[in-house]
Structure 1
Amino acid sequence: MFVLRSTHRALQADYLRVLEQRNEAEQQARAARVSMKLAAGQFTDTDDALGQARLARISDAVGYRRRITRLIRTIARYRTALTTETRRANRLQKAYDNAVGLDAPALDLGAKWQQTRTDKPQAVKG
């Protein structure tokens, strides 16, 4: 089959243009794959970092809950100890007052007399 030179040149130019377009498309596809891998890596790193942050917050919350539980138990123990020591101190104070005679009813009457005595020295105002 006979092909004219001008037709051959036109077909060859079309072939070269298509070949150039194919090479350009392959380059763009490679560049797109590289950028997709880069973006996927960044998203994976970000997702991993976010996951680590979430795990850290959960771990902190669990740790804080344990600390709070320990603190509540410690406070309850201290309150019990304070109540016990307060009762003991009150009992000892009553025993001391009884031993030295400070719980006698006459003392209450004397306190009232001390407040109303007429020979009580007056404070000097100046």
Structure 2
Amino acid sequence: MWNQKARRIRDLAAWKNTLVDRLDDAREELKAERGARAIIARNFHAADRALGHEGAKNRGLTIRLDRALRTIARLRADAANRDRLIADQQRQLDDLLGLNSPAVEAGATWQERRDDKRPMYRSPIDGTTPTGEAVAP
């Protein structure tokens, strides 16, 4: 009976020591967790403050970028309108001067078809052809 009580006391003491060790471990984990939470909270607050400042700066940059993109789009539209106007005026000028007639289009290569063009034309100055060849008189 005494052995059973002594064994029971030893078992209870060992169990108490185990519980005390587990309690100490839990306290250490809780302390570490609270420290980590405090660090995380500080980091989040610092990030919020930084992003709040950067957010205002980014909003300003976004507004400026948007304004620049709108200006570029407007200038491109103006340039396209100006190009259309120039093309229309050039077409009107060509019509007025008769440069769009079929006769002008057909005569675009008239130099190649000239009947009076002499293949061996000699320059009166130096006696050469347009290609630079010397021609005998």
- Structure-2-length-normalised TM-score: 0.46
- Structure-1-length-normalised TM-score: 0.50
**Which structure has more helix as a fraction of its residues?**
1
